[in-house]
Amino acid sequence: EDFSGLGVERDVVVTEGTGKAYARYVAFTHRKSSEKDIYFVSNQLATDRLLDFNFRITNRIPVIYDASSNNTIKVNSWSSANGRTNMTLKLAPNQSLFILFDGPAKSARSNSGNNWINFKAAQDLSKDWQVKFDSSYGGPSKPVVFNELQDWTKRADTLLKYYSGTAIYSKTFNYTQNIEGKIWIDLGEFSSIASVKLNGIDCGTLWTAPHRLEVSKALRKGENQITIEITNTWGNRLIGDSKLPVDKRITNTT
């Protein structure tokens, strides 16, 4: 079942929960460069998870690399003992990360805080959005007001219910909180890709959890203008077109 009889221990052991039970549905791979050991780890479940990782490597400094944001993140808390390195990571639904073991460690442990950011809510922006759809793709010709954020495929209006393409959400809001330090926007859930502009400044694009973007560079105290472009797949339009006569359809497929 394994190579322990040959003196080869498991490369990665992952546990979770207070009982430190074996964590299922975590994928990994491991490769080496001339300077680094590179682990790729992936949460295979659509839920947030707090996972304890135990790597078969020691006396090396670990750092986290998030390829989706191109950010390298310091590992604040880790420990090495008996030829292995331990750390706890918080992974968003289906999130993956690289763990890089680089230069030699000067000590066998570090304990300077969590290996993730703890957020607190500053302001709720979920109310009163104006949403513009593309009429050439079957959407309504005039902007629609969403008093509450809602999946447009759940709307009764078929122009919204079966719309596929890009919808532009926009609103003006007044920000009165402290703007020092880093501030993020959390988009919750959406399908399938979202691009955010704040006061005309491109803050980035999201397509996978965690659905957060840092907006510190664009946010200002007082009035702010935000636009979020949400684009879904053609599947929704194909479902709507299947209910229409052929000459009224926007899409077709084999």
Please tell me the predicted confidence (pLDDT) of residue 225: 98
Q: Output the pLDDT for position 24.
A: 95
pLDDT at 75: 94
The answer to whether residue 97 scores a pLDDT higher than 90 is: yes
Distance CA 95, CA 47 (A): 9
The answer to whether the beta carbons of residues 18 and 34 sit under 8 Å apart is no
The model's pLDDT over 21-75, given as tens digits with 9 standing for 90+, comes to: 999 999 999 999 999 999 999 999 999 999 999 999 999 999 999 998 888 999 9
The pTM for the full model equals 0.84
Q: Do 54 and 12 contact (CB within 8 A), yes or no?
A: yes
pLDDT (0 to 100) of residue 179: 86
pLDDT tens-digit series, residues 179-228: 888 999 999 989 999 999 999 999 999 998 889 999 999 999 999 999 99
- Measured in degrees and rounded to the nearest 5, phi and psi for residue 17 equal 85, 165
Give the Cα separation of 35 and 106 in Å (integer): 17
Q: Which residues contact 92 (CB under 8 A, 6 or more apart)?
A: 43, 48, 209, 210
Tokens at 129, concatenated: 């959005």
Res 71: pLDDT: 87
DSSP letter at 157 equals: S
Tell me: the pLDDT tens digits for 114-147?
999 889 999 999 999 999 999 999 999 999 999 9
Measured CA distances, 244 to 113, 157, 209, 232, 248 (Å):
58, 15, 35, 21, 6
Residues 6+ apart with CB under 8 A from 19: none
CA angle 103, 109, 112 (to 5 degrees): 100
Determine the pLDDT at residue 171: 97
Give the residue from 109, 89, 107, 108 showing the smallest Cα distance to 99.
89
